[in-house]
């Protein structure tokens, strides 16, 4: 099945036409089981029926015969049917029974819930019952915040949808499968890393599998608001008093000319526009007054959008972010980003971040560090992160997980990357805290990759012309004092991320003092730098794996950074130690990447205090 046979005219807006013609032209089996789908924006601001809680599960050991046929297709008559063995019947029934099976908590990865599943990478089946009373003239979707990596959904034995991608949400239309009273849902999640997946098979983080984020039922009117973009109009130049809001609202199923109301009481906005033939209502409206969002004043407005029987009220901040030469301007003012990298690893308890508590702990660290910025590496995180960043005034670098071993020569991989980029931007485009979209991390400098990522960066700009596009570059070798960064990918970026590990992977800490960098004349973010240290391990400044050596690396890094005028941000690798199966030095790592400024249980290392002081006194780097 190719994308072409699946896509309807209306769905074209999700994927770039160019991509589609490419796919059709070569009739690629894109997203083998990934039908086009709507993606409901603002689900966390709708009344939903939560399906969080205990789900029965069973493990489908490789080769996962309950899910896949021998030639890799999805079975329709496997565990998805949720039948029950009649213990007294003959031997030919399916030998499983969800109703008496153990349970896992949803949301949550299975690795940290069940010790026998800690290192399991493969297929786990989830099942639960739920009561439902269909209402006339409504549609009901299953909303999955994230399922890592592939997931396949059945409701009442009907195969509804599949999704690929472990860090972006999706919605499946259950309307025709639901019945009054008791229903059941079965979801198979396959966490196996795929060579042509995104990420591919090589990662330096823990591959937490499962229904890792919230799952809910969302019931909406037949014609409903599934997408919207309400932002400060992004003119060629920023004018602080223009106060013009622009964007669009999409009403799924709406006929041309359907009224859509936009009401922002505090901004004195009250306007009605009409949908076009695609169900999309564009608008541009002058607000009576606007307090622009910033770290100092993270103002959010109640934005009420309604059309027909549907209405949604979101909390949205308005701000302008743009690049000017080598400066980053927020609301016309040059800014310096003082941040840290952070994986979606839950402080204290470990596992994949999925709760208010997890997010509160992470933002507690950032606040304690005097940070105004965080790079959510290397994939979209739980939406709670952006919501808290909106409220707390922390700026975000958001990224899709294109990193190692990616097949840049395969159109189906490009299609997957584009789809994932769409999902990331669609979910978070209304979050003022997100100031950068990143298309990748540390990719090999070759023409195929540069073309792939240049196209992707341009696709990101097409989807969202209001934010700068970035990526974290690695290389060049830093074994000479003169360092020239001439990766052509930088030409496609508005802001350039530069990763380097002088003093850890390359050379000694003091070598950094002598480096002179030649970098693109664009804003540069030192997007990764640091060293490993086991918290509580002490020794001399050149004794590797000690807190003192890690501190020494950063002190010399700072000497170097002060000499690079276009550095507009510091993003040390990494805020907190995180699990990674590739980090196996006994006593020192024990399965963790130890470059954190904090241990996984929130204990500070000496370097944390250095950043806390540096960020408070602004002693490294200049906004202009």
Distance CA 332, CA 344 (A): 32
| Closest approach of ligand GCU to the CB of residue 249, in Å | 38
Site string for ligand GCU, 449-478 (x = CB under 6 A): ------------------------------
315 binds ligand GCU (CB under 6 A): no
- Cβ–Cβ < 8 Å for 584, 591: yes
Applying CB under 6 A, does 573 fall inside the site for ligand GCU? yes
Q: In the chain, what's the furthest Cα-to-Cα distance?
A: 79
Q: How do strand 592-593 and strand 567-570 relate by DSSP bridges?
A: unpaired
Q: How many CA atoms lie within 13 A of 353 on its CB side?
A: 27
Does the footprint of ligand GCU cover residue 549 (CB under 6 A)?
A: no
Nearest approach, Cβ of residue 148 and ligand GCU (Å): 17
Q: Which of 440, 441, 534, 614 binds ligand GCU (CB under 6 A)?
A: 441
In this complex, which beta carbon is closest to ligand GCU, that of residue 185 or of residue 531? 531
Give the nearer residue to ligand GCU in terms of CB position, either 243 or 341.
Answer: 341
In the region spanning residues 113 to 172, those forming contacts with ligand GCU, defined by CB under 6 A, are none
Residue from the set 427, 431, 467, 595 that interacts with ligand GCU by CB under 6 A? 595
Residue number with the shortest CB distance to ligand GCU?
204
Measured CA angle at 576 (ends 614, 337), to 5 deg: 40
Residue 442 interacts with ligand GCU (CB under 6 A): yes or no: yes
**Least distance CB 608 / ligand GCU (angstroms):** 17
Q: 40: exposed, middle or buried (C-beta count within 10 Å: 0-12, 13-18, 19+)? A: buried
For ligand GCU, give the closer residue by CB, 319 or 595: 595
Name the nearest CA neighbour of 383 among 107, 95, 112: 107
In the complex with ligand GCU, which residue's Cβ is closer, 382 or 577? 577
Q: What is the rounded CA–CA span in Å between residue 456 and residue 493?
A: 11
593 in contact with ligand GCU (CB under 6 A): yes
Q: How far is the CB of 572 from ligand GCU (least distance, A)?
A: 11
Determine if 485 is a binding residue for ligand GCU (CB under 6 A).
Answer: no
Q: How far is the CB of 580 from ligand GCU (least distance, A)?
A: 7
Residues 190-219 within binding reach of ligand GCU (CB under 6 A): 204
How many whole angstroms separate alpha carbon 443 and alpha carbon 319?
Answer: 31
In the list 294, 352, 499, 566, the residue contacting ligand GCU (rule: CB under 6 A) is: 499
Min dist CB 596 to ligand GCU, Å, is: 10
- Based on CB atoms, which residue is closest to ligand GCU, 170 or 573? 573
Helix (H) or strand (E) holding 104: strand 103-106
Size of the site for ligand GCU (CB under 6 A): 9
> What pairs with residue 248 in β-bridges?
229, 282
By CB under 6 A, what part of segment 405-434 binds ligand GCU?
A: none
Burial state string for 459-490 with b = 16 or more CB within 10 A and e = fewer than 16: bbbebbebbbbbbbbbbbebeeeebebebebb
Q: Which of residues 371-390 bind ligand GCU (CB under 6 A)?
A: 378
- Of 378 and 381, which CB lies nearer to ligand GCU in the complex structure? 378
* CB closer to ligand GCU, 204 vs 511: 204
Out of 60, 383, 528, 577, point to the residue binding ligand GCU (CB under 6 A): 528
Residue 4 has φ and ψ, to the nearest 5°, of -60, -45
| Nearest to ligand GCU of 318, 608 (CB atom) | 608
Minimum gap (Å) between residue 497 Cβ and ligand GCU: 10
Q: Which residues contact 324 (CB under 8 A, 6 or more apart)?
A: 334
Nearer to ligand GCU, 466 or 557 (CB): 557
Shortest Cβ distance from residue 403 to ligand GCU (Å)? 7
Rounded Cα–Cα distance for residues 453 and 450 (Å): 5
Between 214 and 600, CB nearer to ligand GCU: 600
The neighbouring-strand residues paired with 150 are 164, 190
| Minimum CB distance to ligand GCU smaller for 295 or for 530 | 530
State the nearest-atom distance from the C-beta of 410 to ligand GCU, in Å.
23
Phi first, then psi: give them for residue 542, nearest 5 degrees.
-115, 15
Nearer to ligand GCU, 346 or 473 (CB): 473
* Nearest distance from C-beta of residue 206 to ligand GCU, angstroms: 11
Question: In whole angstroms, what is the distance from residue 275 CA to residue 107 CA?
Answer: 36
Give CA 260 to chain center in angstroms: 29
In whole angstroms, the minimum distance from the beta carbon of 539 to ligand GCU comes to 20
Q: How far is the CB of 378 from ligand GCU (least distance, A)?
A: 6
Element (H, E) at 459: helix 447-463
Strand pairing partners for 518?
Answer: 484
How near is the Cβ of 379 to ligand GCU at its closest, in Å?
11
CB of 345 to ligand GCU, least distance (A): 12
Q: 122: closest CA among 157, 150, 145?
A: 150
Q: Name every residue whose Cβ is closer than 8 Å to that of residue 322 and which is 6 or more positions away in sequence.
A: 234, 238, 328, 329, 468
3-state secondary structure 397-434: EEECCCCCCCCCCCHHHHHHHHHHHHHHHHHHCCCCCE
As measured in angstroms, the least distance from the Cβ of 375 to ligand GCU is 10
Separation between Cα atoms, residue 41 and residue 63, nearest integer Å: 36
Q: Which is nearer to ligand GCU, 217 or 526 (CB)?
A: 526
Comparing CB distances to ligand GCU, the nearer of 229 and 532 is 532
According to DSSP, the β-strands at 170-173 and 138-144 are antiparallel
Angle CA 23–25–31, to nearest 5: 20
Whose Cβ is closer to ligand GCU: residue 204's or residue 274's?
A: 204
149 upstream amide cis, omega within 30 of 0: yes
Give me the residues that bind ligand GCU (CB under 6 A), please. Answer: 204, 378, 441-442, 499, 528, 573, 593, 595
């Amino acid at each position: 099945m190719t994308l072409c046979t699946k896509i309807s005219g209306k769905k074209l807006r999700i994927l770039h036409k160019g991509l589609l013609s490419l796919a059709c032209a070569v009739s690629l089996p894109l997203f083998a089981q990934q039908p086009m789908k709507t993606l409901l924006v603002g689900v966390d601001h709708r009344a939903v029926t939560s399906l969080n809680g205990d789900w029965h599960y069973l493990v489908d050991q490789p080769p996962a015969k309950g899910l896949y046929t021998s030639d890799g297709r999805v079975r329709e008559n496997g565990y998805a049917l949720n039948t029950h063995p009649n213990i007294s019947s003959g031997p030919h029934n399916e030998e499983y029974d969800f109703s008496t099976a153990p349970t896992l908590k949803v949301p949550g990865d299975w690795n940290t819930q069940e010790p026998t599943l800690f290192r399991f990478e493969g297929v786990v089946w989830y099942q639960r019952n739920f009561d439902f009373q269909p209402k006339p003239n409504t549609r009901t979707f299953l909303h999955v915040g994230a399922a890592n990596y592939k997931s396949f959904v059945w409701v009442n034995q009907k195969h509804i949808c599949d999704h690929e991608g472990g860090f972006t949400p999706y919605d499946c239309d259950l309307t025709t499968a639901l019945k009054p009273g008791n229903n059941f849902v079965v979801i198979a999640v396959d966490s196996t890393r795929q060579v042509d997946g995104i990420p591919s098979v090589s990662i330096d983080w823990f591959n937490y599998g499962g229904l890792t984020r919230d799952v809910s039922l969302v019931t909406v009117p037949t014609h409903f608001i599934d997408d919207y973009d309400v932002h400060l109009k992004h003119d060629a130049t920023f004018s602080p008093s223009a106060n013009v809001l622009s964007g669009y609202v999409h009403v799924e199923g709406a006929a041309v000319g359907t009224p859509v109301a936009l009401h922002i009481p505090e901004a004195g906005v009250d306007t009605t526009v009409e949908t076009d033939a695609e169900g999309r209502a564009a608008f541009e409206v002058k607000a009576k007054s606007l307090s622009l969002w910033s770290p100092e004043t993270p103002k959010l407005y109640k934005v009420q959008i309604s059309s027909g029987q549907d209405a949604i009220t979101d909390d949205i901040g308005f701000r302008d972010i743009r690049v000017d030469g080598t400066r980053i301007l927020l609301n016309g003012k040059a800014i310096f980003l003082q941040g840290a990298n952070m994986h979606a690893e839950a402080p204290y308890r470990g596992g994949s971040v999925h709760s208010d508590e997890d997010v509160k702990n992470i933002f507690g660290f950032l606040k304690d560090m005097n940070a105004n910025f965080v790079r959510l590496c290397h994939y979209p995180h739980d939406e709670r992160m952006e919501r808290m960043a909106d409220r707390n005034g922390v700026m975000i670098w958001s990224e899709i997980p294109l990193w190692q071993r990616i097949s840049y020569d395969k159109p189906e991989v490009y299609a997957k990357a584009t789809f994932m980029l769409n999902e990331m931007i669609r979910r978070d485009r209304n979050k003022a805290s997100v100031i950068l979209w990143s298309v990748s991390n540390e990719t090999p400098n070759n023409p195929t990759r540069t073309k792939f990522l240049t196209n992707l960066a341009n696709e990101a700009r097409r989807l969202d012309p209001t934010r700068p596009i970035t990526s974290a570059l690695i290389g060049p070798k830093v074994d000479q004092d003169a360092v020239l960064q001439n990766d052509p990918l930088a030409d496609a970026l508005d802001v350039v991320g530069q990763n380097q590990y002088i003093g850890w992977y390359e050379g000694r800490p003091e070598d950094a003092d002598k480096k002179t960098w030649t970098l693109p004349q664009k804003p540069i973010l030192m997007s990764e730098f640091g060293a490993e240290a086991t918290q509580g391990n002490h020794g001399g400044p050149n004794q590797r794996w000690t807190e003192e050596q890690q501190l020494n690396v950063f002190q010399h890094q700072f000497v170097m950074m002060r000499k690079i005028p276009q550095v507009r941000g510091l993003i040390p690798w990494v805020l907190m130690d995180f699990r990674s199966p590739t980090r196996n030095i006994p006593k020192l790592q024990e399965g963790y990447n130890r470059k954190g400024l904090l241990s996984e249980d929130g204990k500070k290392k000496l370097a944390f205090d250095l950043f806390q002081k540096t960020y408070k006194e602004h002693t490294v780097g200049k906004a202009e």
